[in-house]
Chains A and B, each alone.
Chain A
Amino acid sequence: MSDPASGTMDLAGEFLGRRTPMQRIQVTLHRYPYLSPLIVLIVALVIFALINPKFILPGNLSFITQQTVVIGTLAIAQTLIILTAGIDLSIGAIMVFGQMVMANLALTAASNATNFGLPPWLAITIGICASILAGAINGFLIVKLSLPPFIVTLGTLSVFTALTLILFKARTIQGPEMPDLLKVMGVAIKIGSFQLMVGVIVMLVLFAVFTYVLRMTSWGTHIYAVGDDPQAAELSGISTKRVLFSVYVVAGFITGIGAWIYIGRTGAASPNADPSINLDTITAVVIGGTSLFGGRGTLIGSLLGAFIVVVVENGLALAGLDQAYRVLAIGVLVIAAVALDQWIRKVRA
Chain B
Amino acid sequence: MSTPTLALEPLLSCRGLVKSFGHVIGLNGADLDLYPGEVLAVVGDNGAGKSTLIKCVAGALIPDTGEITLNGERREFKRTQDARLQGIETVFQTLAVSPALDIASNLYLGRELRKPGVMGKVFRMLDKKRMRTEASQHLQDLGIGTVQSITQTVETLSGGQRQAVAVARAAVFGSKLIILDEPTAALGVRESARVLQLIKDLRDRGMPVILISHNMPQVFEVADRIHVQRLGRRAAVVTPQTHTMNDVVAIMTGAMSVDEKDQALGPVRSAN
Answer yes or no: A115 CB below 8 A from chain B CBs.
no
- What are 17 A-B interface contacts by the 8 Å CB criterion? A1-B189, A2-B188, A5-B188, A12-B158, A216-B124, A216-B125, A216-B128, A224-B98, A225-B101, A228-B100, A229-B98, A229-B99, A231-B94, A234-B79, A234-B80, A235-B80, A348-B156
Answer yes or no: B81 CB below 8 A from chain A CBs.
yes
Answer yes or no: B249 CB below 8 A from chain A CBs.
no
Interface residues of A in 209-230 (CB under 8 A from B): 212, 216-219, 221-222, 224-225, 228-229
Answer yes or no: B196 CB below 8 A from chain A CBs.
no
Interface residues of A in 268-309 (CB under 8 A from B): 295-296
Query: How many residues of chain A are within 8 Å of chain B by beta carbon?
Result: 33
- Given known contacts A5-B188, A229-B99, A232-B95, is B158 in contact with A221 (CB within 8 Å)? no
Q: Are A237 and B79 in contact (CB under 8 A)?
A: yes
Q: How far is the CB of A345 from chain B (nearest CB, A)?
A: 9
B residues less than 8 Å from A235 (CB atoms): 60, 80, 90, 92, 94, 96
Q: Are B96 and A221 in contact (CB under 8 A)?
A: no
Answer yes or no: B190 CB below 8 A from chain A CBs.
yes
Proximity string of chain B (83-100) to chain A, C-beta cutoff 8 Å, 1 when within and 0 when not: 010000010101111111
Proximity string of chain A (9-34) to chain B, C-beta cutoff 8 Å, 1 when within and 0 when not: 10010000000000000000000000
B residues less than 8 Å from A1 (CB atoms): 187-189
Answer yes or no: B110 CB below 8 A from chain A CBs.
yes
- Given known contacts A237-B79, A238-B110, A349-B158, is B96 in contact with A232 (CB within 8 Å)? yes
CB-nearest residue of chain A relative to B82? A237
Q: Which of B84, B97, B100 contacts A295 (CB 8 A)?
A: B100
Task: Contacts A6-B188, A222-B110, A237-B109 known; list 15 others, CB within 8 Å.
Answer: A5-B188, A5-B190, A218-B114, A218-B124, A224-B100, A225-B101, A231-B94, A232-B95, A234-B79, A235-B90, A236-B109, A237-B84, A296-B100, A347-B155, A349-B157
Per the bound structure, the CA–CA distance linking A349 and B92 in Å amounts to 23
A residues less than 8 Å from B95 (CB atoms): 232
Q: Are B124 and A221 in contact (CB under 8 A)?
A: no
Residue numbers of A with Cβ under 8 A of B are 1-3, 5-6, 8-9, 12, 212, 216-219, 221-222, 224-225, 228-229, 231-239, 295-296, 347-349
B residues less than 8 Å from A9 (CB atoms): 158, 188
Per the bound structure, the CA–CA distance linking A102 and B111 in Å amounts to 40
Q: Are A219 and B191 in contact (CB under 8 A)?
A: no
Per the bound structure, the CA–CA distance linking A231 and B55 in Å amounts to 13
B residues less than 8 Å from A233 (CB atoms): 98, 109
Q: Are A217 and B98 in contact (CB under 8 A)?
A: no
Q: Are B125 and A217 in contact (CB under 8 A)?
A: yes
Per the bound structure, the CA–CA distance linking A172 and B97 in Å amounts to 51
Q: Are B128 and A238 in contact (CB under 8 A)?
A: no
Per the bound structure, the CA–CA distance linking A234 and B81 in Å amounts to 9
Q: Are B110 and A5 in contact (CB under 8 A)?
A: no
A residues less than 8 Å from B125 (CB atoms): 216-217
Q: Are A232 and B156 in contact (CB under 8 A)?
A: no
Per the bound structure, the CA–CA distance linking A234 and B105 in Å amounts to 15
Per the bound structure, the CA–CA distance linking A234 and B60 in Å amounts to 9
B residues less than 8 Å from A225 (CB atoms): 98, 101, 109
A residues less than 8 Å from B157 (CB atoms): 349
Q: Are B80 and A237 in contact (CB under 8 A)?
A: yes
Q: Are A217 and B124 in contact (CB under 8 A)?
A: yes
CB-nearest residue of chain A relative to B81? A237
Q: Are A237 and B188 in contact (CB under 8 A)?
A: no
Per the bound structure, the CA–CA distance linking A237 and B77 in Å amounts to 12
Chain B CB within 10 Å, residue with most, of A9, A232, A295 = A232
Q: How far is the CB of B162 from chain A (nearest CB, A)?
A: 10
Per the bound structure, the CA–CA distance linking A260 and B156 in Å amounts to 43
Chain A CB within 10 Å, residue with most, of B80, B101, B112, B158 = B101
Answer yes or no: B126 CB below 8 A from chain A CBs.
yes
A residues less than 8 Å from B128 (CB atoms): 216
Q: Are A5 and B189 in contact (CB under 8 A)?
A: yes
Per the bound structure, the CA–CA distance linking A235 and B124 in Å amounts to 23
Per the bound structure, the CA–CA distance linking A216 and B98 in Å amounts to 17
Per the bound structure, the CA–CA distance linking A217 and B158 in Å amounts to 28
